[in-house]
Amino acid sequence: MWHDAGLLFGLPDHFIAAFFNQVLPSTVGGDGVRIWLLARKGAGWASATYSVLADRVVGLVVLAFIVIACLPFTFTLVHDSIARTVLLVIGFGTVAGAVVVVLTGVQFRQFFNRWMLTRHLSSALYSIAAVCRSRRSATIVLSCSVAVHLLTVTAAWCCVKAVTAPVSFAQVLFLIPPVVLISSMPISIAGWGVRESSMIIAFAYAGLSQSDGLSVSILFGALSFVVGVVGGIFWIVSGLGFRVFKGTRARPEPMPTIDAG
């Protein structure tokens, strides 16, 4: 089951995933390791993959909803028409794209089941739709996702205070989610470069110091690196390795199900 796979994932595993996020493109490395760790603990490759993919998609969509919810306030800071358009595209485009992809996978599931690769993709999308249909599961997942994103904003605000930048918590709340959403794209190692460029542009359009934006971004990246180092230590101490474990290939993979609540 999707939620059973999630319960197998402990705090040390999150640190280990954070380590691989720092050495591979954006979140791709960490997600791959999370899948491997879940499968190694008995969740099965299919359930592990569906669980991590659902977690990633829901997290990005919730972040996009936060961007959309903050738009009326963000527009009080950002007056440039091009920047406003970009924010609208980032927020609504992410949500619309996710909805279209998930609905396509669900509605045309029989068609996609003809081929192995598309069959697994369709099953993963179906599991995401199942999470959304279950009131209990959706409430838990959405609440945890919002809490994680707010903690990210709080961490960024702590970086602002550390460099004594004249930026309020409200301004950080309005500017950080779009930056995090953009830096989630797997086009750079750990988001370096993309995050800094996005932060500088966001601060500039909001009428804030670009140098403060760069300093905050670098410090935020450094904190993420420190968390990754802790994960690397967990990885070394645990003695885990990328080796085939018994029973993984032979055991049939059950379809993920979620109890309707």
What is the pLDDT, as a whole number, of residue 87?
94
**Total structural domains in the chain?**
1
Residue 102 lies in a domain: yes
Residue 50 lies in a domain: yes
> pLDDT band at residue 8, thresholds of 50, 70 and 90?
low
Residue 142 lies in a domain: yes
Residue 128 lies in a domain: yes
Worst-scoring range by mean pLDDT, 20-29, 122-131, 172-181, 188-197?
20-29
Average per-residue pLDDT for the chain: 84
pLDDT at 56 over 80: yes
Worst-scoring range by mean pLDDT, 7-21, 98-112, 167-181?
7-21
What is the pLDDT, as a whole number, of residue 162?
93
Residue 81 lies in a domain: yes
> pLDDT band at residue 243, thresholds of 50, 70 and 90?
low
> pLDDT band at residue 246, thresholds of 50, 70 and 90?
very low
CB 145 within 8 A of CB 58: yes
What is the pLDDT, as a whole number, of residue 153?
95
Residue 30 lies in a domain: yes
Q: Count of residues for the chain?
A: 261
In this prediction, residues 33-54 reach a mean pLDDT of 83
> pLDDT band at residue 1, thresholds of 50, 70 and 90?
very low
What is the pLDDT, as a whole number, of residue 202?
93
pLDDT at 10 over 50: yes
Question: What is the sign of the dihedral through the CA atoms of 150, 154, 159 and 164?
Answer: positive
Q: Which two tokens stand for residue 89?
A: 């595209």
What is the pLDDT, as a whole number, of residue 242?
52
pLDDT at 249 over 60: no
What is the pLDDT, as a whole number, of residue 240?
67
Region of residue 252 (left: phi > 0; alpha: psi -120 to 50; beta: else): beta
In this prediction, residues 226-238 reach a mean pLDDT of 88
Residue 25 lies in a domain: yes
What range defines the domain where residue 172 resides? Answer: 2-235
Q: List all residues 6 or more positions away from 191 whose beta carbon is below 8 Å from its beta carbon.
A: 26, 183, 184, 221
45 vs 253: CA distance, rounded Å:
7
- In three-state form (DSSP H/G/I as H, E/B as E, the rest C), the secondary structure along 130-190 is HHHHCHHHHHHHHHHHHHHHHHHHHHHHHHHHHCCCCCCHHHHHHHHHHHHHHHCCCCCEC
Residue 43 lies in a domain: yes
pLDDT at 181 over 80: yes
